A and B are shown apart, each in its own frame.
Chain A
Amino acid sequence: MGKARLKKWMRTLSYTLALLGLVVIVLAAFNLLLQKGQGDETIVDVTVQSQASTDLLVERFQRRLMNRPEDQKAYVQLGGAYLQKAREMGDLSYYLRAEEALRKALELEPSSVSAMNLMGALAMGGHQFQEALEWAERSLKLDPRNANAYGILGDAQTELGQYEAAFGNYQTMVDLKPDLSSYARVAYARERMGDVEGAIEAMQMAVAAGPAKGEATAWALVQLGNLYFNIGRLDEAAEHYESALRAFDSHYLALAGLGKTRAAQTRYDEAIKLYEQAVAIIPQPVILAALGDLYARTGNVDQAKLQYDTVEFIARLAAINQVVYNRDLALFYADHDLKLDEALDLARRELAVRKDIYGYDALAWALYKNDRLEKAAESITEALKLGTQDPNLYYHAGMIYYSLGQHQQARDYLERALTLNPSFSILYSDDARRTLAELDREAALSGNQEGPALGLAKGVAR
């Protein structure tokens, strides 16, 4: 190996080692934070119980396998329990443990439909959407009546942008077995297609079909909260996030959702507290970025920077395997005008494996920030093709058309965004309002007295 190449290799190696070392330190610090938050698992405390019950399951199945190491069902159950832990804690290591248990289950029984379904769910968690699709198809070959497999199949197809097939499979799922899982998927499909009322109705059915407590019901309540947030019904959104917390204590998505709602209501101190709680449980980049934006908004620049730096650390570690964070990081960079080249690169790479409307949206925004306006417009058109009523999509479209000089379109989209939720984003609501006001003034001055653009807005019943 030539001297120059050796030098370069050594530099890469030392960089990698340094990064790993830094990562270990950072993670160790977070680990301490995490333990501080959770408390002793053996103490019966109303507030910790829901997570402890999954731990109990894990322990139970592990014990079972100690006595019977060839117990296929126990491996399936253990895999399922680890997946549930991953849902609750967002921790990738549980995915790896789940994979180990499920592969063993399949070794013992290669035609285990339940193991295949869980492998599909596992692949979804790791953003391996094509793999998830294949697991679901294998499962359905063996048991064409399995509702869960249709759910996984639909989930994978949704992420790959195969919407028609996905929604057809969701229909089959609910036709076979109406329950929280299938109602939730119908809600998701309806939301994507712009039927917000129908999405809320179906998600309400999902909540009603679940047990009173538990992570599944809490998740559905969070989704309901998100639906209400998107259409600006902030009090209702907050109620649902609070219900989610009652169903599953300290559910990090509920804390973050409630934080987002309080921020939209300009209750910034409360919002910060809620985000801090969420971050203490899971330092997820989207939540960290939101917390950073809140700190920035309230003038705490140092704290804001800390959150932003942490976003990069966490996202980078996962970005190493180039799977889980491309999109979130791309949007983070674009939103904060950082590393715009990389934002575009990440967005492109993500879209290559995941052609859903939000992939096109992330690409559109990254292109916009890189001043590639024509391409941005193409991309945002793809993102809007289903008719999804999302203020963030509309805002992106509005700004893209504004920069392109297509002011009529821009007005329409900005108006739609603000009609849905005047406080849709702590970063962008003000900008949307300012830009729209400017466009309105301009329209008035030029004699185009059309008034506020209502033509395209569907309007959602309140």
Chain B
Amino acid sequence: MSRALFIAVVAALIMAGVSVLVVSGSSHNDAPLIAMDPQANNTDVYAYVSPANPNAVTLIANYIPMEEPGNGPTHYLFSDDVLYEIMVDVNGDAREDLTYQFSFKTSVGVITPNTFLYNTGPIGLPPNTGDPTSQYTNLNIHQSYSLTGVVGDRRTSHDRQALLHNARVAPARVGPVSTPASDYGSLAAAAIHNFNPTSRVFVGPRDEAFYVDLMAAFDLLGGFTNPQRPAADTFSGFNVQTIALEIPKTRLAQAGDTDGIIGVWASASRKQINVLRPNGNNALHSGRWVQVSRLGNPLVNELLLPFGAKDLFNASEPKNDVANGFDNLIVNPGASQGPAALIPLINSLTSCTPTDGRIDLDLIFLKGIDAGTAGALAAAVPGLQPFADAGGNQDTQQPGGPTPADMLRLNYNVQPSAQQSRSPLGFFGGDPAGFPNGRRVGDDVVDIALKGGGGAVLHVLGFISCAASLGLSDGVQSNDMPYLTSFPYMGTPHEGYRHEHDHGGPSPLVVAGMGIGSGVLVGGLLLGGVAFMSWRRRRSPV
């Protein structure tokens, strides 16, 4: 029988409702083509002057998206096989000057060998909290990390300093018996370690600080303009793994910063291995690090870059962003990506959003806002005067101007805003200490990106007339959990035993009880990653 006839037969059977159980031979190599890698998934980067300690800057990198708290804390440990890094460029050449490297070591069955039990009783403070290597009591799985500081090129420089070794990670917030609410704060605080001597670090689980109505965004932005239900934070009730650093401004100056402006990004890398193993060498000791995840500004990879550029972006360095064409993709999205890209899509909502020649996005994402533009912004939005006074956040240390690259740019001479004048909308709320001047935990980057992407900055400066851009929002204006007012600022993680997810209520097509699996990449769904989800149990509200 010919192939065409066979197909016709099968098609007829399908139409007749018979499930055609013609099974595939398993005898070929059918390794998965695309697999999620949550432990190397860098979800967010934050950089801002510490409100509780304005002589220092807080740098945060979060990993492992959408951790379902009840799903067993063993699943959300950092990977021992991944190198996690936070980079700082102090002079605007898009190369790291300072890098903080984290490598983890996990020991399972410390108390009761041969079991995967997380704890054997209520988790208690370490016997010697002043010693970073002292571990929590009753913890059966120990995760600890080494922190290395590198000056210069993080792969080739010999200027490396071991800052911490075998430092404890904060435990998971399991439940009222294992980690009573009254105790958890002190347990987490015991995971803040000092080094150097006035720098601090925290590593451990936190509440997912990012908030967005992903399903509204996913529904082709239709949920924003034609909501059929109240907006709901898709990330509510989920946790994330946090690496947080507090670095004194003097340390940055010591590293060569002269203008108070730094560029920040983070990454995750895995070892490559060799198919052929000469002398049976253990690959883990001989392979080189290959970067598999990279993040600076929020939502660049997810929203601004096309589907086909994501892998390259994740593997690339900021210094090569122009060579890799990312600048063109960001500044001229219409011409370079077509009508399905985010900016043209936003234009279909506003009808006044320029889709090419976006000098505003060039400044916000690739160069930093220069002093002149900062002044013009402050003239239009008086609250932004401190940003203008500080000279904007475009680095001035390169004679020919900064190298265009995606990095989160912070002018740390702008003081943290007082509580009453803080706005999660950052610049669009007249708050000079919020995104795009760095990014604070709690800044509503989705709304800021929608407004900014829609052309709000151009509108405010009078280049275009597009008031509609100011009104863009996903409807979710705040996180589900409060943030902390002191380091590490990221909120207390949700409890495994008891927590809620807000999905805006059941929809006619989605039956109550279904949640979104971990391994979902925000932008992957939005603009098309082929996302193969692993399922997570949704806990019903108590």
Q: B11 on the interface (CB 8 Å rule)?
A: yes
Q: Which residues of the other chain, A, contact B465 by a CB distance below 8 angstroms? A: none
Q: B9 on the interface (CB 8 Å rule)?
A: yes
Q: Which residues of the other chain, B, contact A31 by a CB distance below 8 angstroms? A: 18-19, 21
Q: B23 on the interface (CB 8 Å rule)?
A: yes
Q: Which residues of the other chain, B, contact A185 by a CB distance below 8 angstroms? A: 29, 31
Measured CB to CB, the nearest residue on chain B to A80 is B530
Query: Which interface residue of B3, B25, B218, B275 has the most chain A CB atoms within 10 A?
Result: B275
With A159-B28, A170-B275, A358-B27 as contacts: A317 and B35 at CB distance below 8 Å: no
Q: How far is the CB of A310 from chain B (nearest CB, A)?
A: 11
With A and B bound together, what is the CA distance between A252 and B14 in angstroms?
23
Q: How far is the CB of A190 from chain B (nearest CB, A)?
A: 7
Q: B484 on the interface (CB 8 Å rule)?
A: no
CB-based A-B contact count at 8 angstroms: 279
B20 and A93 form a contact (CB under 8 A): yes
Q: How far is the CB of B4 from chain A (nearest CB, A)?
A: 10
Q: How far is the CB of B290 from chain A (nearest CB, A)?
A: 5
Which of B168-176, B266-274, B444-452, B488-496 is near enough to bind chain A? B266-274
Measured CB to CB, the nearest residue on chain B to A356 is B28
Q: Which chain A residues in 168-194 approach chain B with CB under 8 Å? A: 170-171, 174-181, 183-186, 188-190, 193
Q: Which chain A residues in 123-172 approach chain B with CB under 8 Å? A: 124-127, 129, 143, 145-148, 151-152, 155, 158-159, 167, 170-171
Q: B147 on the interface (CB 8 Å rule)?
A: no
Q: How far is the CB of B221 from chain A (nearest CB, A)?
A: 11
Q: Which of A57, A76, A181 interacts with B31 by CB under 8 Å?
A: A181
Q: Which chain B residues in 484-542 approach chain A with CB under 8 Å? A: 509-511, 513-514, 517-519, 527-538
Q: Which residues of the other chain, B, contact A158 by a CB distance below 8 angstroms? A: 29
Q: Which of B21, B222, B280, B312 interacts with A282 by CB under 8 Å?
A: B21
Q: A343 on the interface (CB 8 Å rule)?
A: no
Q: B483 on the interface (CB 8 Å rule)?
A: no
Describe A's contact surface by its main secondary structure: helix
A90 and B33 form a contact (CB under 8 A): no
B35 and A188 form a contact (CB under 8 A): no
A124 and B30 form a contact (CB under 8 A): yes
Query: Which interface residue of B16, B23, B270, B532 has the most chain A CB atoms within 10 A?
Result: B23
Q: How far is the CB of A148 from chain B (nearest CB, A)?
A: 6
With A54-B533, A76-B528, A205-B81 as contacts: A320 and B6 at CB distance below 8 Å: yes
A180 and B35 form a contact (CB under 8 A): yes
Q: Which chain A residues in 430-455 approach chain B with CB under 8 Å? A: none
With A and B bound together, what is the CA distance between A52 and B535 in angstroms?
8
B533 and A49 form a contact (CB under 8 A): no
A92 and B23 form a contact (CB under 8 A): yes
Q: How far is the CB of B463 from chain A (nearest CB, A)?
A: 31
Measured CB to CB, the nearest residue on chain B to A180 is B35
Measured CB to CB, the nearest residue on chain B to A287 is B26
Q: How far is the CB of B311 from chain A (nearest CB, A)?
A: 7
Measured CB to CB, the nearest residue on chain B to A125 is B24
B25 and A195 form a contact (CB under 8 A): no
Measured CB to CB, the nearest residue on chain B to A223 is B31
A59 and B29 form a contact (CB under 8 A): no
Measured CB to CB, the nearest residue on chain B to A40 is B511
With A and B bound together, what is the CA distance between A143 and B310 in angstroms?
12
Q: B158 on the interface (CB 8 Å rule)?
A: no
Q: Which of B21, B39, B79, B528 interacts with A91 by CB under 8 Å?
A: B21
With A53-B517, A73-B527, A179-B37 as contacts: A214 and B533 at CB distance below 8 Å: yes
Q: A425 on the interface (CB 8 Å rule)?
A: no
Q: Which of B220, B282, B290 interacts with A177 by CB under 8 Å?
A: B290
Q: How far is the CB of B511 from chain A (nearest CB, A)?
A: 5
B275 and A171 form a contact (CB under 8 A): yes
Q: Which chain B residues in 68-94 approach chain A with CB under 8 Å? A: 71-72, 74-75, 79-81
Measured CB to CB, the nearest residue on chain B to A174 is B272
Q: Which residues of the other chain, A, contact B536 by a CB distance below 8 angstroms? A: 213
Per-residue CB contact flags for chain A residues 7-24 toward chain B (1 = under 8 Å, else 0) read 000000000100010001
With A and B bound together, what is the CA distance between A409 and B394 in angstroms?
75
Q: Which residues of the other chain, B, contact A114 by a CB distance below 8 angstroms? A: 307-308, 528, 530
Which of A268-276, A321-329, A368-376, A387-395 is near enough to bind chain B? A321-329
With A96-B7, A320-B1 as contacts: A178 and B514 at CB distance below 8 Å: no
A93 and B33 form a contact (CB under 8 A): no
A145 and B270 form a contact (CB under 8 A): no
A327 and B277 form a contact (CB under 8 A): no
With A and B bound together, what is the CA distance between A158 and B30 in angstroms?
11
Q: Which of B220, B308, B315, B534 interacts with A143 by CB under 8 Å?
A: B308
B308 and A179 form a contact (CB under 8 A): no
Q: B292 on the interface (CB 8 Å rule)?
A: yes
Which of A196-204, A397-405, A412-420 is near enough to bind chain B? A196-204
Q: Which residues of the other chain, A, contact B26 by a CB distance below 8 angstroms? A: 90, 253, 284, 286
Per-residue CB contact flags for chain A residues 187-231 toward chain B (1 = under 8 Å, else 0) read 011100101011001100100111111111101100000000000
B81 and A209 form a contact (CB under 8 A): yes
Q: A6 on the interface (CB 8 Å rule)?
A: no
16 inter-chain pairs at a CB distance below 8 angstroms, sorted by A residue, are A27-B20, A46-B537, A114-B530, A117-B33, A129-B28, A171-B274, A174-B272, A176-B315, A181-B35, A183-B273, A184-B31, A184-B32, A195-B280, A202-B283, A285-B25, A286-B27
The 7 closest A-B pairs by CB, nearest first: A73-B528, A214-B534, A80-B530, A44-B513, A92-B22, A180-B35, A178-B270
Other than the given A91-B19, A93-B22, 10 more pairs (CB < 8 A) read A67-B220, A86-B24, A87-B30, A91-B24, A114-B530, A145-B315, A184-B31, A186-B273, A208-B79, A321-B6
Residues of A within 8 A of B (CB): 16, 20, 24, 27-28, 30-31, 34, 42, 44, 46, 49-50, 52-54, 56-57, 59-60, 63-64, 67-68, 71-74, 76-77, 80-81, 83-84, 86-87, 90-93, 95-96, 112-114, 117-118, 121, 124-127, 129, 143, 145-148, 151-152, 155, 158-159, 167, 170-171, 174-181, 183-186, 188-190, 193, 195, 197-198, 201-202, 205, 208-217, 219-220, 253, 282-286, 314, 317-318, 320-321, 324-325, 327-328, 358
